Amino acid sequence: MKQARLTDEMWNAKTGASQPAPAQSDQPDESPKGTPQTKHALCKHAAAHADDVAAEHFPELPVDAIDWETSTRMQRSAGRAIYDHRSEAIMIRLSWDAYEAYGWKQFAAWFATS
């Protein structure tokens, strides 16, 4: 997974040399149950889950090349996969609000149905 950048509305796994990351909170990334508590942890969990799913069903998918981000503005969706045909870049944008509303178990099920 690529490096983190935190913005006001969106956590992005891409690096941004021109935009320094603001200070991180003291909140732990995971709860005692191992569920994500931060946007960074959600992207890490989703990337690890995608690794497992891809290894079983899509072994040629370059999961390490996927950029992950969370959005607090996304509505009516748990996430969205975006593919740029010109650059062949893959980005998966996850809804932080959907994750908070439904939890990891239901949120992870989105990968199996998308």
Kindly report, residue by residue over 53-110, the tens digit of the pLDDT.
889 998 998 888 899 999 989 888 888 999 999 998 999 999 999 899 988 888 888 7
Segment 26-38 mean pLDDT: 67
Cβ distance 86 to 72 under 8 Å? no
What tokens appear for 58 in the block?
């899509």
Determine phi and psi for 11, rounding to 5 degrees.
Answer: -100, 135
pLDDT above 70 for 14: no
Whether 17 has a pLDDT exceeding 80, the answer reads: no
The span from the CA of 25 to the CA of 22, in Å, is: 9
Tokens of 112: 């199996």
Tell me the mean pLDDT in the region 5-32.
45
Per-state percent for the chain, helix, strand, coil, to nearest 5: 35, 25, 40
Q: Is the dihedral of CA 8, 75, 43, 107 positive or negative?
A: positive
Confidence of residue 30 (pLDDT cuts 50, 70, 90): low
pLDDT of 114? 52
Which strand (E) or helix (H) includes residue 66?
Answer: strand 66-71
| Band of residue 5 on the pLDDT scale cut at 50, 70, 90 | very low
pLDDT for 37 = 87
Lowest pLDDT segment from 11-25, 36-50, 51-65, 66-80: 11-25
Is the confidence at residue 31, as pLDDT, over 80?
A: no
Listed by start position, the domains of the chain span 36-113
Residues 6+ positions from 7 with CB-CB distance below 8 Å: 19
Angle separating helix axes 39-57 and 96-113, nearest 10 degrees:
0
Q: Where are the alpha helices (DSSP H) in 35-91?
A: 39-57
